[in-house]
């Protein structure tokens, strides 16, 4: 990839990450931490490529470990985030009508 383009991507992605979080109310910080934890589970894709291109036994072993860990990050991150947010939803469903302050 062309170096300068890569730097543009980094800059824009960094601003995006900052902006997405900056508007988050304090009350949602932890689910968001869990959600962003899930998002970097995309490392699974890279681990798959590393394993897919592995030639030697050593590369295969490390690549295998990488994919196991990456899949754990992605799947685990999704499950716990979803469960946490599910808890929020079930609270919402039982919402009392006289909620107005």
Interacting residues with other proteins between 31 and 90 (CB under 8 A): 31-54, 56, 58-60, 62-89
Residue 100 in the binding site for other proteins (CB under 8 A): yes
Q: State the Cα–Cα distance between residues 21 and 30, nearest whole angstrom.
A: 11
**CB of residue 61 to other proteins, shortest distance in Å:** 10
When asked if residue 29 is in the footprint of other proteins (CB under 8 A), the reply is: yes
Taking the complex as a whole, the smallest distance from the CB of residue 53 to other proteins amounts, in Å, to: 6
Q: Nearest 5 degrees, angle CA 98-CA 24-CA 96?
A: 10
Q: Are 38 and 85 in contact (CB under 8 A)?
A: no
């Amino acid at each position: 990839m062309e170096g300068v383009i890569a730097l543009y991507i980094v800059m824009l992605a960094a601003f995006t990450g900052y902006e997405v979080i900056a508007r988050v109310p304090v009350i949602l910080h932890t689910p968001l931490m869990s959600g962003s934890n899930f998002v970097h589970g995309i490392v699974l894709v890279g681990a798959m490529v590393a394993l897919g291109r592995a030639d030697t036994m050593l590369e295969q072993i490390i690549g295998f470990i990488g994919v196991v860990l990456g899949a754990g990050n992605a799947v685990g991150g999704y499950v716990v985030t979803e469960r946490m947010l599910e808890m929020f939803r079930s609270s919402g469903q039982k919402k009392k009508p006289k909620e107005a302050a």
